[in-house]
Amino acid sequence: MKVVVCVKQIPDPADPGALDPETNTLKRDTKLILDESDSYGVEMALQLVDAAGDGEVHLVSMAANNEVGGLRTALAMGASSATIVSDDALGGSDALGTSKVLAAAIARQEPDLVLAGTESSDGYTGVVPEQVAELMGLPSVTFAKSISIEGGEAKIQRQTEAGYDDVECPLPVVVSVTAGVVEPRYPSFKGIMAAKSKPVDELDLDALGIDAAQVGWAGAGQEIVAVDEAPAREAGEVIEDDGDAHERIVAFLDDLKIL
Amino acid sequence: MGYPRQPSIFLSEEHDAFRTTVASFVQREIRPHADEWEAAGECSRELYRKAGAAGLLGLRYSEELGGSGLDFMATAVLAEELAKSDSIGTAVSLMAQSEFALAILADEASDEIKARWMAPAIAGELIGAIGVSEPGAGSDVAAITTRAVRDGGDYVISGQKTFISNGTRADFITLAVRTGEPGPKGISLVVFPTDTPGFEVGRRLDKLGARASDTGELYFDECRVPVANLVGEEGQGLRYILSHFGGERLVIASFAVGIMERLIELGLDYAAERQTFGSPILGFQTWRHRFAEMATSCEATRLLAYQAARLLSDRDPAGDLAVSMAKLRAAEAVQSVAAEVLQLHGGFGQMEESPIPRYYRDVAGFSIGAGTSEIMRELISRSLISTINTNPTNKETAR
C-alpha cells in the first residue's frame, strides 16, 4: 500500500519571524520545521502501512529553495521518501495554487491513499485537502479521527459536532486528519541517521507540467488586502461571591448558550 | 526567550535534530507531570516505555539489543535536554537505567544476560538500577561488605545497600557483592532479579533534591541468584565499576549544563519583565554582568563535558581525567548559577510555585553523587602529579 502524506514546512511557531509589509504574507526565510498538525497524518500513515504489512509512506511538500528541514523530521519518523516542489514562480501562491502543485506531485506517486492535516498552523485556510481531491478527481473525506483499510476500502470515522460518522470509501481517497487523534512518534537518533540517506525528489513547475501563470502571485485568486493586530484581550468579568456566585456564574454561562 | 546556544564543533546536524526530539519529549511527556512526580517521589513506569519507544534508553548500545549504536556525544545531548524538564529526579531515573545500570552489562556481561535484561530495559519494559553504595561504603567502593557465597550453581547473597536510585521498584539490579577477600580484589558484579526470595526494599529515602527519583534502602537475606548472572569475571567488579564511572560523571556534568541553560533562560525572562526602581532588572549592569558570567560558565562547562564525551567515546585513557574535570567544574558552576538565579528572583525565587527552589535543591547533590568533588580533585591531582614527575619523593606527595 502506498500512502502519500501532504506535509507543510513552516517557520518555528516558537520563533515565527514577521510578516512582509509589502505582501502581507509570512516571511519564510528562516529555517522551516514540520508543521505539527501534519505529524498526525504522518503517524497515521505509518500505522496504516504497518498494519497492512507492506507498503510505504511518501511525503509531498511545497516550499522555497528545496527546503527539507521539516521533511527530514517526517522521514526520521519513518516515511520512506519525499517529493519537494520549489520554484521561484510559486511565491505568493494561494490555497488553490498550492493545491494544483500538490495534486500534480501526488498524482506522480499513484497512491492508494492521500492524507493531509485539516489545516496548517501558519495559514489556516483549511481547504487544501479538499481542493487536491477535486483536482485529482478523487473522493474527499474530512476530519478523520481513525482510518482502517479493509477489503480495498477505507473505513473512516469522521468527527462531527455530535460524535462521528462511519464513512466507507473506495480507494484512492484524500482524507484530512484531525490534529491530536494519534500520538506522533518521536524521531529517534537511529531514524534521524536513516533519514539522511532517504530519497528526496526535487521538482519544479516544468517537471510537473504546470504553467507558471496558474500559480504564485500570477495565478492567485485571493489577495490579502490588510492585516490588523488581533484585538487585545478584554478584562473578564469578576464575580465576587456573596453567597450567590454559583447562580450568577450559571446565568452568565446560560447567556453565552454554553449550558 | 530561548537560551542563545552556540553551534558546537563537537556536534553534527543529527545531534541537533536529536536535541529537538528530546526537547519535545521533555515538553510533552515530562514537564506536564513534573510537579506530580516530584510530589509522588517517582515518575510513572509508563515514561520508561515511552522513552524506550523514542530510542532514549539505549543510545550507546548495539542495535541487536534495540539500541542505537551511538557514542557519548549523544548521551551528553540527551542528558542536557532531560535536565531541563523541571524534574531532575525524572532525568536521574531514566539515566540511572540507561547509563548507570546498563553500561557495565554492555561491556562485560554474557550474551544471555544482555538478551534477558538489557534488551527489555532498552525498550523500557524493565527498570534497572546499579547497586553499589552501602551504609559503610560510598566513595570508598572497595569497602563494601554485601557478601555473595558460592553454593552449587548459586550465589547466596546477604547484606545491605543504600542510596540506590530506582532502587524501590527496579526489576533488576547490577549489584556489587563481595565474592572474595576483603579489599579491592574481592568484589564481583551480578545481575540481581528483584523478585528473588529474601530481597526486601526498606525505606524510600526522603531526599533534599531530585525528589522524583525513587531512592531506596535494600536488604538481602540469603538471596539465591544463579552463578550465570555473574557479570564478566569474578573479582573484577571494582575494576568494572571504576572504569564505568566516566559515563555517570559525564551525565552529571551534562545535567549541569542543561540546568544552567534552563536557569539562565528563566532568569533572563524574569529579569526582562520584573521592574524595580522604574527599570527592568536587566537594566542594571550588575545583573547584566552576572548573566554574562553565568553564560560563560555554562559554555566553559559544556566544552569540558563535550571534550570528555569525545575522549570517552574514543576510549582514550585521557577520558577519565577530562570527565573528572568536567564533573568537578559542572557541580560548582551549576550550584553557583542556581544561587545567582534564586537571588535574582528575590522573594518569588523562594516560592515552591516557581521551579527555582527545586533546581536549587536538585543541584546540591551534584558535588556528591557519582564521585564527590573531593574525589574528583584527588583523581585530577593524582593524574597531574603522575604525569609531571616520576621521582619517588613526589610519588609520596601524591598519596
Q: What's the number of domains chain B is made of?
A: 3
- ipTM for this prediction: 0.82
Model confidence at B340: pLDDT above 60: yes
Q: What is the DSSP string of A48-110?
A: HHHHHSS-EEEEEEE-GGG--HHHHHHHHHT--EEEEE--GGGTT--HHHHHHHHHHHHHTT-
Instruction: Give the CATH number, domain containing residue B57.
Output: 1.10.540.10
Model confidence at B264: pLDDT above 90: yes
Cell of A44: 497515521
Residues B267 and B200 in one domain: no
Residue partners of A138: CB distance under 8 A and separation at least 6: A114, A172, A173, A174
Model confidence at B35: pLDDT above 60: yes
The answer to whether A119 and A125 have CB atoms below 8 angstroms apart is yes
Residue of B3, B11, B24 to mutate, testing the A interface (most A Cβ within 10 Å of its Cβ): B24
Residues B288 and B220 in one domain: no
Whether the CA torsion B46, B49, B50, B51 is positive or negative: it is positive
Task: Please check whether residue B282 lies inside any domain of the structure.
Answer: yes
Checking B345-354 for CB contacts under 8 A at 24+ apart, the result is B345/B267, B345/B270, B348/B270
The 10s digit of each residue's pLDDT in B234-252 is 999 999 999 999 999 999 9
**How much of chain B exceeds pLDDT 90, in percent?**
90
Which residues on chain A are in Cβ contact (under 8 Å) with B2? 14-15
Residue partners of A186: CB distance under 8 A and separation at least 6: A77, B21, B24, B25, B53, B54, B55
Pairing label, strands A113-117, A2-6: parallel
Residues B256 and B214 in one domain: no
pLDDT at A28: 76
The 10s digit of each residue's pLDDT in B373-392 is 999 999 999 998 987 765 55
Task: Please check whether residue B146 lies inside any domain of the structure.
Answer: yes
Distance CA B359, CA B379 (A): 28
Residues B267 and B377 in one domain: yes
Domain boundary among B122, B141, B173: B122
Closest-CA residue of A relative to B74 is A189
Domain boundary among B234, B251, B268: B234
Q: How sure is the predictor about A121, in pLDDT bands with cuts at 50, 70 and 90?
A: confident
B62 touches A: beta carbon within 8 Å: no
Task: Please check whether residue B3 lies inside any domain of the structure.
Answer: no
Distance CA B290, CA B80 (A): 22
**Mean pLDDT of all residues in B313-328:** 96
Total-model pTM:
0.88
Domain residues for the domain of B161 are: 128-234
Distance CA A89, CA A214 (A): 10
Q: Which of B25, B69, B70 sits opposite A186 (nearest CB)?
A: B25
How far lies A219's CA from each of A94, A151, B62, in Å? 8, 41, 54
Task: Please check whether residue B100 lies inside any domain of the structure.
Answer: yes
Closest-CA residue of B relative to A183 is B28
The 10s digit of each residue's pLDDT in B114-126 is 999 999 999 999 9
Q: Do B24 and A76 touch (CB under 8 A)?
A: no
Model confidence at B399: pLDDT above 60: no
Residues B24 and B68 in one domain: yes
B14 touches A: beta carbon within 8 Å: yes
Of residues A197 and B2, more confidence is placed in: A197
Residues B266 and B362 in one domain: yes
Task: Please check whether residue B26 lies inside any domain of the structure.
Answer: yes
Q: Which of B24, B25, B74 sits opposite A189 (nearest CB)?
A: B74
Q: What are phi and psi of B210, to 5 degrees?
A: 45, 45
Residues B184 and B312 in one domain: no
Residues B315 and B334 in one domain: yes
Task: Please check whether residue B5 lies inside any domain of the structure.
Answer: no
Which residues on chain A are in Cβ contact (under 8 Å) with B25? 186
Terminal C-alpha separation, chain A: 46
Q: Which of A76, A185, A196 sits opposite B53 (nearest CB)?
A: A185
B74 touches A: beta carbon within 8 Å: yes
Chain B nearest-CA distance from A189, in A, is 6
A191 touches B: beta carbon within 8 Å: yes
**How much of chain B exceeds pLDDT 70, in percent?**
97
Task: Please check whether residue B230 lies inside any domain of the structure.
Answer: yes
Q: How sure is the predictor about B273, in pLDDT bands with cuts at 50, 70 and 90?
A: very high
Model confidence at A130: pLDDT above 80: yes
Chain B nearest-CA distance from A76, in A, is 9
Q: How sure is the predictor about B393, in pLDDT bands with cuts at 50, 70 and 90?
A: low
Residues B373 and B288 in one domain: yes
Query: Among A138-147, A220-229, B140-149, B254-263, whose mean pLDDT is lowest?
Result: A220-229
Distance CA B275, CA B273 (A): 6
Which residues on chain B are in Cβ contact (under 8 Å) with A192? 14, 17-18, 21
pLDDT at B1: 60
> Domains, chain A, ranges and CATH?
2-219 (3.40.50.620)
Mean pLDDT for chain B overall = 94
pLDDT at A240: 85
Residues B112 and B97 in one domain: yes
- Catalytic residue list of B: 248
The 10s digit of each residue's pLDDT in B153-198 is 999 999 999 999 999 999 999 999 999 999 999 999 999 999 999 9
Q: Which of A14, A15, A189 sits opposite B18 (nearest CB)?
A: A189
**Which amino acid is residue B384, in one-letter code?**
L
B238 touches A: beta carbon within 8 Å: no
Residues B118 and B132 in one domain: no
Domain boundary among B199, B234, B269: B234
Model confidence at B396: pLDDT above 50: no
Residues B245 and B382 in one domain: yes
Q: How sure is the predictor about A12, in pLDDT bands with cuts at 50, 70 and 90?
A: confident
What is the SS3 assignment for B197-254? Answer: CCEEEEEECCCCCCCCCCEEEEEEEEEEEEHHHEECCCCCHHHHHHHCHHHHHHHHHH
Query: Among A32-36, A139-143, A228-232, whose mean pLDDT is lowest?
Result: A228-232
Q: Do B54 and A185 touch (CB under 8 A)?
A: yes
Task: Please check whether residue B260 lies inside any domain of the structure.
Answer: yes
